[in-house]
């Protein structure tokens, strides 16, 4: 018997059983090696290399839901939330996957990070349906429910603030329009007053001109009368001879 080959395999199996990341129950030697390397990187919080190992393994063995689960965990730690969501969904396509509750819980965590609290609650609820004893999912469910309530309250307050702001803007616009109308009215009144003053000046000039003309005519009339009287006096003095 080749003990040199058996011992590393046993060590691999023991390592997989103690890891926080899900191992596979039945793994080929190559699959186990790659999975172990991914777990090792994961435990050291080297999530970038961990994701690469899990992703390569999941591509080579696409039917193994547990590999997709590990891949999703590493993607989540790297902040690749959409990729993690895709990996978790692939995980749950296998109806025999034994950690469906955790997969739903992690999907809820993805939605929670995206501040999609409504769908986070849905996934946490599904996790509890799969496993009512999943205390982490229960805690996260309650937390997401509080966050959703707070978000809705903030939205209502924001809508109220927006409404008040719109009302204030409308009132300001109304005041500005009123001020503009008052200013235009003042300008019109000023212009009317100027026109009236100009008309009065014009009428006064006309009246003065007429008075002057009338005075001139009167003077001329009087001078003509005097001239006529003078002519009559001269005639009287000379007498009239036939």
pLDDT surpasses 60 at 6? no
C-beta of residue 22 within 8 angstroms of C-beta of residue 66: yes
State phi, psi for 193 to the nearest 5 degrees: -65, -45
Bigger pLDDT: 77 or 204? 77
Domain membership of residue 16 (yes or no) is yes
Mean pLDDT of all residues belonging to the chain: 82
State phi, psi for 35 to the nearest 5 degrees: -65, -40
Residue 155's pLDDT band (boundaries 50, 70, 90)? confident
2 and 89 part of one domain: yes
8 and 91 part of one domain: yes
Long-range contact pairs involving 55-62 (C-beta distance under 8 Å, separation at least 24): 57/31, 58/87, 58/90, 60/31, 60/34, 61/31, 62/90
Domain membership of residue 206 (yes or no) is no
- 11-41 pLDDT, tens digit per residue, is 333 333 333 455 444 457 888 898 999 999 9
Q: What is the dihedral of CA 170, 175, 178, 183, to 10 degrees?
A: -140
1 and 84 part of one domain: yes
Q: Which of 95, 119, 147 is the last residue of a domain?
A: 95
91 and 4 part of one domain: yes
Residue 25 belongs to a domain with what CATH number? 1.25.40.10
Domain membership of residue 242 (yes or no) is no
Domain that holds residue 145: 99-155
- Number of domains composing the chain: 2
89 and 107 part of one domain: no
Cα–Cα distance for residue pair 186/192, rounded to 1 Å: 10
- 93-105 pLDDT, tens digit per residue, is 888 888 999 999 9
């Amino acid at each position: 018997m080749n003990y040199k080959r058996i011992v590393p395999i046993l060590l691999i199996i023991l390592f997989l059983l103690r890891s926080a990341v899900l191992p596979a129950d039945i793994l080929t030697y190559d699959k186990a090696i790659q999975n172990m390397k991914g777990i090792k990187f994961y435990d050291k919080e080297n999530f970038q290399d961990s994701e690469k190992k899990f992703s390569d393994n999941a591509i080579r063995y696409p039917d193994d839901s547990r590999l997709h689960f590990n891949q999703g965990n590493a993607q989540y730690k790297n902040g690749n939330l959409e990729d993690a969501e895709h990996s978790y969904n692939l995980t749950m396509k296998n109806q025999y996957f034994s950690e469906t509750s955790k997969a739903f819980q992690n999907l809820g965590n993805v939605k929670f990070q995206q501040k999609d609290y409504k769908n986070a609650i849905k996934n946490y609820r599904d996790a509890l349906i799969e496993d009512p004893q999943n205390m982490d999912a229960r805690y996260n469910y309650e937390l997401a429910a509080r966050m959703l309530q707070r978000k809705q309250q903030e939205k209502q307050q924001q809508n109220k603030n927006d409404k008040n702001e719109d009302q204030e803007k409308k009132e300001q616009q109304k005041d500005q329009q009123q001020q503009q109308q008052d200013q235009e009215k003042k300008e019109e009144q000023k212009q009317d007053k100027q026109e009236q003053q100009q008309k009065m000046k014009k009428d006064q000039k006309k009246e003065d001109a007429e008075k002057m003309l009338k005075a001139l005519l009167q003077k001329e009339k009087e001078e003509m009368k005097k001239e006529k009287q003078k002519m009559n006096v001269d005639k009287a003095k000379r007498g009239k001879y036939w």
